[in-house]
Amino acid sequence: MEIVRRIISNFGFLLQVAGLLLALPIAIGLQHNELQPVASMVATGFLSFGLGFILNSFCERKELDEKTSLWLMLINFTILPFVLMIPYIWNNVFGSGNPFDLFTNAYFETVSGFTTTGFTFITNADSLPISLLFYRSLVEFIGGVGLIYILIAFLHPNHSLDNYAETFGVEKLSDNLKRVFISVILVYTFFVAIFTAVFYLVYSQDIVIASTTAIDVLTGGYQPNVTAGIGVFQISIIILMLVGSLNFRFHYNFFHFKFRSVLSQEIKFYLGIIAGATILVAILAWINPFDSLFHVISMMSSTGIDYINIATTPTAAKVLLIIVGLIGGCAFSMAGGIRIQRIQLLVDAVRKRGSHASSEQLKAVLINIAGFLIILTALSIIFSKIGISLLDSVFEISSALTTNGISMGITTISIPLGYKWLLILAMIVGRVEIVIVLKGLIGTKIMSATKRLLATTMHRKKPNESEKSIPYL
C-alpha cells in the first residue's frame, strides 16, 4: 500500500507539471484567436492540474525508490496520454464519426507523439490550427526530453534521485543530479532555439512552425516536409538528427569544454556504423551517398524522416535499413533501438577487447536484446495478418518499437482498430525499454546486472571523480 501511495503521489505531481506546461500552446492560440483549440487545451490543463492536485491531496509525497520510479514510468507512458489526447478528441482532427474510432485515433496520436515515434493519422498537419500544431510538438518534447520528469526531480532531495535517474535514463555525470537534470533542459532547449532560428531562415518564416520543426527533428517525432536535394535545410536536419542521437555525455563534455573526452568509444563505434551503412545502402538501393547518409542517420537516430520511397527499394536495402534502425543510437539520447552501447559490449566480448563483463552482466544484455527481438517477431507475425508480407510487417513493427515512425504506407487511419492498439503497445514498450518491462516481470536481478554491466561499459578506464556515472539503462 505504501508503494501505491508513493506512485499516486508522484504521478499527481507529473500531472500538475504537464498541466502547467500547456500555458505555452494556450498563449499561442490566444494570439492567433483560435478559440476552440484554446478551449480544448484549457480544459486539458485544468483536468491535468486538478486531477494531480487531488492525487496529491489523498497521498502524502514520499521519496522515490527503485520500484516507485519504475512503475511511475510505466504508468506515465500509458495513463498520461489519456489526458493529453483531449484536444484531439475535442477538435476531432481525424474526422472520425465513430466515438470508439475517435478515442483510439486520439490515443494513438498522443502515444505516438509522447513516445517520439511520429506515426500520425492526421492527413494534413499543415491544416491544423497553429496552437494545436505546437501542442502536438510540445507533447513530443515533454516525452522525448523527459521534461516533466526533470521538473519533478526538483521536488525531491538529491539523495533520493539515484534510482529515479536510472529508471528514466539520466546518467549521473556529476555528484549533483539536479545539476545534471538542469543541464539536460538547458542543452536541448539551446539546440531547439538554435535550429529554430536556422529553420526560420531556410524552411518557414513562421517562428512557431520553425520551432515545431526543430522539436520534431531533435526528438525524432513527427516528420516535416522534406524534399530530395542537397541544401541547407537537408544538411541542417542531418546535423540535428545526429545531435539528438549522440549520448548526453557528449554534449555535457562539449559544453564543459572537455574536448578530449568528447569522442568516446561508443561515439566512434556509432559513427563507424553510420559510415559503413551509408556506403552499403547507397550501393544496394542505388541512390546517391547524400540520400543514403540522410536515411541511415534517420533510421539509426529514430527520427523517422524520409523522402525516398522505401517501400520500392530493393529487398536487401530494406533489410539493411531495418537492421540499422534496430541497432539505434547511443545510450542516454533521443534515439531508440537496442542501443550502440549494448552492441559494442557484445562485440568487445567476442573480440575479447575492452573491459571484460561478467557472465551475469552479459546474460543481462543478451536477455534484453533477445526480449526485444522476441517481441519484434511476435508482433510482426500478428501484424502481418493484416494482409502484408512478413518483411513489410517487420519494418512497420520495428519502426514502432524503435520509436522511428517511418511507415511504408501501411500505418494509416484506415487500418483495423486491433492493429492500431498493437502498434500502440509496440510504441510504449519500445519507448519504456525492454529492460524496464523485464524488471517488472522478472525482478531486481536482471536490472541490477544490467546496471553493473553498463557501469563497466561506460568507462574503458577509471573516470575522474567528476565523471563517475550511474549508467543509462
CB atoms within 10 A of CB 7: 23
User: Could you report the average pLDDT of every consecutive run of 10 residues in the chain (473 residues)?
Assistant: 75 87 95 95 94 78 67 85 95 90 96 93 88 94 74 62 60 68 85 96 93 93 88 95 90 84 88 96 95 96 92 93 93 86 82 66 79 93 95 95 91 94 94 65 50 43 37 34
Q: How many helices (H) and strands (E) does the chain have?
A: 22, 0
456 contacts 316 by C-beta, under 8 angstroms: no
State the CB neighbour count (10 A cutoff) for residue 186: 12
Cβ atoms of 3 and 63 closer than 8 Å = no
Q: Tell me the C-alpha distance between 49 and 44, whole Å.
A: 8
DSSP designation for 231: S
Rounded Cα–Cα distance for residues 102 and 118 (Å): 18
**Calpha distance 420→353 (Å, rounded):** 44
Angle between helices 66-84 and 2-21 (to 10 degrees): 40
How deeply is 259 buried, as exposed, middle or buried, from its count of CB atoms within 10 A (0-12, 13-18, 19+)? exposed
* Three-state secondary-structure class, residue 472: coil
Rounded CA Rg of the chain: 21
294 CB-near residues (< 8 Å, 6+ apart):
234, 237, 238, 305, 307
Determine what percent of the chain falls in helix, strand and coil, rounding each to the nearest 5. Answer: 70, 0, 30
Distance of CA 294 to the CA centre of its chain: 19
Of the candidates 113, 121, 47, 122, the one whose C-alpha atom is nearest the C-alpha of residue 86 is 47
Whether the CB-CB separation of 308 and 287 falls below 8 Å is answered with yes
**pLDDT value of residue 173:** 64
DSSP code at position 95: -
Cell of 211: 520551432
Amino acid symbol at 158: N
* CA dihedral (216, 139, 253, 268) positive or negative: negative
Dist CA 375 CA 368 (whole Å): 11
**Per-residue confidence (pLDDT) for residue 144, from 0 to 100:** 80
Q: Which residues contact 350 (CB under 8 A, 6 or more apart)?
A: none
- DSSP secondary structure, 345-397, as one string: HHHHHHHT-SSPPPHHHHHHHHHHHHHHHHHHHHHHHHHHTTTS-HHHHHHHH
Q: Distance between CA atoms of 290 and 286, rounded to whole angstroms?
A: 12
Q: Cβ(395)–Cβ(318) under 8 Å?
A: yes
Give, in order, the Cα–Cα distances in Å from 360 to each of 92, 107, 295, 312, 447. 51, 39, 36, 43, 11
Cα–Cα distance measured from residue 258 to residue 256, given in angstroms and rounded to the nearest whole number: 6
pLDDT of residue 377: 96
CB 453 within 8 A of CB 345: yes
CA 417 from centre of chain: 24
Name which of 436, 295, 308, 462 is nearest 372 in CA terms. Answer: 436
Q: Which residues of 70-104 are buried (b: 16+ CB within 10 A; e: fewer)?
A: bbbbbebbbebbebbbbbbbbbebbebeeeeebbb
Whole-angstrom distance, CA of residue 254 vs CA of residue 267: 13
Helix intervals (H) in 246-357: 248-255, 265-285, 289-300, 315-327, 340-351
| Residues 277, 320 contacting (CB under 8 angstroms) | yes
Q: How far apart are CA 281 and CA 314, in angstroms?
A: 10
